[in-house]
């Protein structure tokens, strides 16, 4: 009879997509839901980017491109990397339908059954799930709040084996906001020097969102001697509020970039031609939206941190980057709701807040560390303030 592949039966639906569906359902039923689940900027795409997309349409740029991308975008990507201290030639880059397609393709191109991928937790859920799809094993390294959610060289060393094919580093981090310093990154590099079969996937998609004067450093900049083992992942989704354009890019050793491009020829053929033209405008045009939006996010972050600070039973560290707060709900576990139920897990807490406070969040199991809720501040100050007040009231109703 007809069946799914063994691999697909292991695939869990994305928890953030599940949250989006649940919010949509509640809204259809007439509930007003305050959502702190958003994983994308709420700011408009810059007008010059929109104009470039419209112009591309009128100019007839509506056909397949080379899998390697249009020449102007390849140049723009290399120039953008160079501004960040990374020298990649055009043969060393690949572009795709979002950073996610590059992450997927990089794992597809390199993993076999039995291979291991070290993923520090809390993590963005897609890494372990994609690794799993290619029959490899995600090796999760817990980075507890007591260690600031930070990976340490000792914890990294303990996780590496001669089957490790990748270490995934995501700085600024989704969901914790950790931003690794150059010193921390080179300490990881020193450990990896002893594991020559291990590649590093450095997901830098939140590079432009850093707060309190923290400095963003690329893994490959901190570890020039590992240059031929680092795949730097980036894209225009978050930086330029272009999530729907689906345009990401990667830089790394030529053999790996070529393998990814090759795979993409059998997948989507190439990135969307209109998005490629829009991305050229984003990367080479007026950059002022980056600083303006960063300042907005920092203000929202401060509002969210102080709001959470006033909720009995919740605590959080101030994220140094990205646009999420990973808040502990340890103080609410074991509490009884007015309906007489006991909150046993962070997922119970998330459901309680959704039901009672009409505030949507994503619980820790999506990120591999409990008991926490991820709260996004990619939303207005008004939503943040109302959500915090509603959460505080619901928490105060607990016994």
The residue (of 105 and 237) whose beta carbon lies closer to ligand PLP is 237
Report the residue number, 337 or 379, with the smaller CB distance to ligand PLP: 379
Angle (CA) 99-263-258 rounded to 5° is 85
Binding flag, residue 98, ligand PLP (CB under 6 A) = yes
Binding residue for ligand PLP (CB under 6 A) from 88, 104, 124, 195?
Answer: 124
Find the residue with minimal CB distance to ligand PLP: 98
Q: CB 188 → ligand PLP: shortest distance, Å?
A: 17
Given the rule CB under 6 A, which of 87-95, 98-106, 303-311, 342-350 is the region that contacts ligand PLP?
98-106
DSSP string for 333-353: TT-B-TTS-B--SHHHHHHHI
Kindly identify the residues of this chain, within the stretch 21-50, that bind ligand PLP according to CB under 6 A. 39
**Residue 216 in contact with residue 226, Cβ under 8 Å?**
no
Task: Provide CB contacts within 8 A for 82, sequence distance 6+.
Answer: 88
Find the shortest distance in angstroms from Cβ 364 to ligand PLP: 16
Contact call for residue 237 and ligand PLP (CB under 6 A): yes
Compute CA distances 170 → 32, 54, 122, whole Å: 34, 33, 10
Cα 145-148-150 angle, rounded to 5 deg: 110
- The reply on whether position 235 binds ligand PLP by CB under 6 A is yes
Residue 395 CB, nearest distance to ligand PLP (Å)? 27
* By the rule CB under 6 A, 277 interacts with ligand PLP: no
Out of 41, 248, 368, 371, the residue judged to bind ligand PLP by CB under 6 A: 248
Pairing of strands 116-121, 137-142: parallel
> What 8-state DSSP symbol labels residue 315?
B
Answer yes or no: are the C-beta atoms of 359 and 383 closer than 8 Å. no
Q: How far is the CB of 367 from ligand PLP (least distance, A)?
A: 11
Considering the complex, state which of residue 4 and residue 17 has its C-beta at the smaller distance from ligand PLP: 17
Cα 392 to Cα 399: distance, rounded to the nearest angstrom? 13
Q: Which of 52, 99, 332, 394 binds ligand PLP (CB under 6 A)?
A: 99
Does 170 engage in binding with ligand PLP (CB under 6 A)? yes
Q: Based on CB atoms, which residue is closest to ligand PLP, 180 or 195?
A: 180
Residue 60: burial class (beta carbons within 10 Å; 0-12, 13-18, 19+): exposed
Residue of the chain from 49, 118, 179, 205 that contacts ligand PLP (CB under 6 A)? 205
The burial class, CB within 10 Å (0-12 / 13-18 / 19+), for 386 is middle
Q: In angstroms, rounded to a whole number, what is the distance separating the alpha carbons of residues 108 and 265?
A: 13
Q: Is 203 in the site for ligand PLP (CB under 6 A)?
A: yes
Q: Show the DSSP H helices in the chain as ranges.
A: 6-9, 15-28, 47-58, 71-83, 99-110, 126-133, 153-159, 182-192, 219-222, 254-265, 273-284, 288-309, 346-352, 381-396
Nearer to ligand PLP, 106 or 343 (CB): 106
CA distances from 217 to 203, 231, 246, 266, 384 (A): 12, 14, 24, 34, 29
Whichever of 283 and 311 has its CB closer to ligand PLP, that residue is 283
Tokens of 296: 């907005």
Judged by CB under 6 A, does residue 100 bind ligand PLP? yes
The answer to whether 131 contacts ligand PLP (rule: CB under 6 A) is no
174 is an interface residue for ligand PLP by CB under 6 A: yes
H-type alpha helices, 203-287: 219-222, 254-265, 273-284
C-beta closer to ligand PLP: residue 100 or 150: 100
Considering the complex, state which of residue 294 and residue 386 has its C-beta at the smaller distance from ligand PLP: 294
Number of residues that bind ligand PLP (CB under 6 A): 13
Q: How far is the CB of 348 from ligand PLP (least distance, A)?
A: 25
φ and ψ of 15, to 5 deg: -60, -30
340-379 positions binding ligand PLP, by CB under 6 A? none
Binding piece for ligand PLP, criterion CB under 6 A, among 97-105, 144-152, 194-202, 224-232: 97-105
Q: Among residues 124 and 195, whose Cβ is nearest to ligand PLP?
A: 124
**245 near ligand PLP (CB under 6 A):** no
**Contacting positions for ligand PLP (CB under 6 A):** 39, 98-100, 124, 170, 174, 203, 205, 235, 237, 243, 248
């Amino acid at each position: 009879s007809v069946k799914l592949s063994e691999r697909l039966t292991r695939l869990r639906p994305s928890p953030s997509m599940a949250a989006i569906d649940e919010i949509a359902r509640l809204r259809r039923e007439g509930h007003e839901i305050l959502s702190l689940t958003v994983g994308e900027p709420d700011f408009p795409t810059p007008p010059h980017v929109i104009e470039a997309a419209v112009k591309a349409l009128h100019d007839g740029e509506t056909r397949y491109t080379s899998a390697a991308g249009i020449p102007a975008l390849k140049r723009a990507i290399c120039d953008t990397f160079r501004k960040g201290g990374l020298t990649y030639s055009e043969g060393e880059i690949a572009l795709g339908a979002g950073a996610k397609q590059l992450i997927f393709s990089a794992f597809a191109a390199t993993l076999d059954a039995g291979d291991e991928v070290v993923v520090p937790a809390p993590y963005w859920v897609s890494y372990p799930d994609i690794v799993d799809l290619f029959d490899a094993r995600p090796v999760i390294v817990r980075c507890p709040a007591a260690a600031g959610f930070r990976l340490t060289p000792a914890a990294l060393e303990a996780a590496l084996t001669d089957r490790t094919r990748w270490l995934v580093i995501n700085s600024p981090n989704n969901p914790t906001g950790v931003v690794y310093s150059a010193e921390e990154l080179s300490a990881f590099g020193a450990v990896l020097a002893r594991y020559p079969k291990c590649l590093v996937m450095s997901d830098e998609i939140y590079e432009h969102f850093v707060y309190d004067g923290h400095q963003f450093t690329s893994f490959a900049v901190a570890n020039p001697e590992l240059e031929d083992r680092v795949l730097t992942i980036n894209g225009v989704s978050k930086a330029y509020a272009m999530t729907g354009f689906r345009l990401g890019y990667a830089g790394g050793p030529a053999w790996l970039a070529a393998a990814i491009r090759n795979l993409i020829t059998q997948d989507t053929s190439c990135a969307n031609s209109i998005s490629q033209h829009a991305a050229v405008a984003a990367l080479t045009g007026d950059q002022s939206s980056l600083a303006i939006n960063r300042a907005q996010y920092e203000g929202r972050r401060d509002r969210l941190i102080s709001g959470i600070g006033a909720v009995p039973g919740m605590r959080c560290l101030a994220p140094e980057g990205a646009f999420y707060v990973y808040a502990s709900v340890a103080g609410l576990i074991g509490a009884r709701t007015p309906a007489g139920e006991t909150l046993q897990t962070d997922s119970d807490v998330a459901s309680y807040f959704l039901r009672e406070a009409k505030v949507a969040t994503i619980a820790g199991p999506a990120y591999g560390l409990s008991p926490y809720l991820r709260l996004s501040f990619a939303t207005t100050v008004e939503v943040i303030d109302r959500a915090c007040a509603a959460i505080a009231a619901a928490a105060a109703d607990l016994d």
